Amino acid sequence: MLKIMIVDDEEIIRAGLARMIEKGNDAYQAVALCRNGKEALERFTPDIDVIITDIQMPEMDGLTLVKEVKETYPNLPCIILSGFSDFPYAQQAIRYGVQDYLVKPVNKREVFHVLQSIHGKKEQAYDLGEHQTVRKVKSYIVNHYQEKIELQILAEQVFLDPSYLSRLFKENTGETITDFIMSVRIERAKELLVASAALKTYEVGHAVGYSDPIYFNKVFKKREGVTPKEYRTSKLNKKM
């Protein structure tokens, strides 16, 4: 969903643009219609994805609004909408980092072309953000597999709700967080069983995060088809 703020001192333009945008694409939502830059700043929230604003408005014009917003949210896309096609306005808008400069009366195709570009980039930053989150969770598990790892602890590492993180991880990897933790632990256990023959199997289990030897044996056999002891014996015999 692309959340859009529309700022124009003419109500008919605000409402008309909102209807056109929402009717043209279900993924676009006009969440705030404001009369001027001052009202826009007062109603602005961080979840707004793009601002479409007129230039000439009472109390605070569009360029000042863009300048103010960009100081805190430099990457927020802003579209300047104006009946003034003067080049100086366009120059100033570009300096403030606007996404595009559209002249009234607006061309529907041009508006949607700009919005589609913004939406596409958002979906790419969102996907990238998801992948980065999953990578961070995986990295934490790999570095802390010996410890007791709870979903709440993982969620705190990436500042997400536990249930949302659980769903996000499954959607991106095809496996649950629990399965990934088990995979990391069992792979490490397999290494220790062969490389450290002096360790008892229950010691190996404890070393990879399983304090209960019975549970360790159960989990290991479920994944590998054999007990830890049988796995060790099989591997060591092959070496002889």
Mean pLDDT computed over 70-93 = 80
The predicted structure's pLDDT at residue 50? 95
Which DSSP letter does residue 35 get? S
In this prediction, what percent of the chain has a pLDDT beyond 90? 70
Tell me, what's the pLDDT at 97? Answer: 78
Please name the amino acid found at residue 29: Q
Structure tokens at 49: 């994805």
Q: Which distant-in-sequence residues (6+ apart) come within 8 Å of 20 by Cβ?
A: 108, 111
Is residue 62 within 8 Å of residue 82, measured between CB atoms? yes
Rounded CA-CA distance 52/43 in Å is 14
User: Side by side, which strands form the sheet with 28-34?
Assistant: 28-34, 2-7, 50-54, 78-82, 100-103
Query: Residue 22 has what pLDDT?
Result: 94
Q: Hunting for tokens 């360029």 — which residue is that?
A: 63
* C-alpha distance across the termini of the chain, in Å: 62
Closest C-alpha to 54, from 36, 70, 30: 36
What pLDDT score was predicted for residue 85? 62
Mean pLDDT calculated for residue range 177-183? 96
Whether this prediction's pTM lies above 0.75 is answered by: no
Q: Is the pLDDT of residue 7 over 80?
A: yes
Q: List pLDDT tens digits, range 117-152.
A: 999 888 887 888 889 999 999 999 999 999 999 999
SS3 category, 134:
helix
Task: Map residue 50 onto helix, strand or coil.
Answer: strand
Domains, the chain, with CATH or none:
2-118 (3.40.50.2300), 127-240 (1.10.10.60)
